[in-house]
Structure 1
Amino acid sequence: MRIENTGIDDVVVDLKPLDHITGKNAFIRAGQWDYERVTYDYKIESDEKNITYYVRIQGYALEGDVDKGNAVLKLLTPLLGKHYYPHGIEYGEEESFPKNVVERAKTLLTKVGEELNPHHK
C-alpha cells in the first residue's frame, strides 16, 4: 500500500541526514542497500498469527555512491507491507491493513518527512 502526502514523496536529500533521521525514528537500513539504492524498514508487530507489518522508505541515487556515503538520493512514495510468515512481504494495493496500523504508519512517516524538510536539496 502506497502512503502518500507524508512529505517524503520525491524529496531529494543527502544520505547522511537521511540515515540519521530514519535511524532516530527506528527505521533500519541494515544490508538493504546497494551502490545506487537504499531501503529503510520500520517493523510493526501484530497480534495476528504469523503477521508482521513493515513501513518502507526507498530511494535511489541521483549522484554519488551509497557505499561511499556521498549519495544524493531521491525518495519514492513510502509503502506499507504485510509479511506473511514464511512467504514474505506483500505491498500490493489489494492487501487489507488494520486502521490503527495505517494511522501509525502515516504518523511516523509524516514525522520523518517534517524532520527531513530542512535537509531538502
Structure 2
Amino acid sequence: MKFESYGFENVKADLRRLDDVMAEYGLVREEQWDYERVAYDRKFELKEGVFYLRILGYAVEGDVGANRAVIKLLTPLLGKHYYPHGVEYGEDEVFPKSLVSQCEKILSEVKAKVDTFAA
C-alpha cells in the first residue's frame, strides 16, 4: 500500500536529522542502507500478521555511509511479511483499518517535523 497523499516525494533533508525524527516514531534505519539509499522501517506484529511501514530515500548529496548526506524521500509503503519470502506491498494485500489509521497518524507527524528542517 502506498501513502501518496503526504508529500514525502518532495522532501530533501539531512540524514542525521532524519535519523533522529524517524527514531522518535519507531522507524529505524539499522542495516537498511547502502552508500546511496536508506530505508526506515517500523514493524507491527498483529494477530493478522506482521506488517512493515517503510519510508525509502536516496542520497542526492554526500554519502550515507559517512553519515553526511542529503536524502530525497520517496512515497511511504505499508507491506505484509510472508515467511520465508519477505514483504509484499501489492495492491491485493489487505491491511487492518486500525493499522492503516495508525500509519497515517505516524506519517502526518513525521512529515510535519521533517518539514521544519527540510531543504
Query: Structure 2 length as normaliser, TM-score?
Result: 0.95
1:9: how far off?
A: 2.6
Q: Which runs of 5+ in 1 are unaligned?
A: none
- Deviations, residues 46-66 of structure 1 (Å, cap 9, x unaligned): 112xx2010000000001000
What is the CA–CA distance in structure 2 between the aligned matches of 1:7 and 1:23, rounded to whole Å? Answer: 20
1:46 is aligned to 46
Which portions of structure 1, spanning 4 or more consecutive aligned residues, are displaced by more than 4 angstroms?
A: none
Q: Which residue of 2 aligns with 1:18?
A: 18
How far did 1:85 drift? 2.3
Number of corresponding residues: 119
Unaligned runs of 5+ in 2: none
Between Structure 1 and Structure 2, which shows a larger proportion of strand residues? Answer: 2
CA distance in 1, matches of 2:11, 2:76: 11
- Greater share of residues in helix: 2
The equivalent residue for 1:60 is 58
Instruction: Write out aligned runs for 1:84-103 (5 A).
Output: 84-103=82-101
Separation (CA, whole Å) in 2 of partners of 1:103 and 1:9: 20
C-alpha RMSD over aligned residues: 1.0
Distance 1:42 1:69 in 2: 21
Determine the C-alpha separation between the residues in 2 that align with 1:35 and 1:71.
9
Identity of aligned residues (%): 50
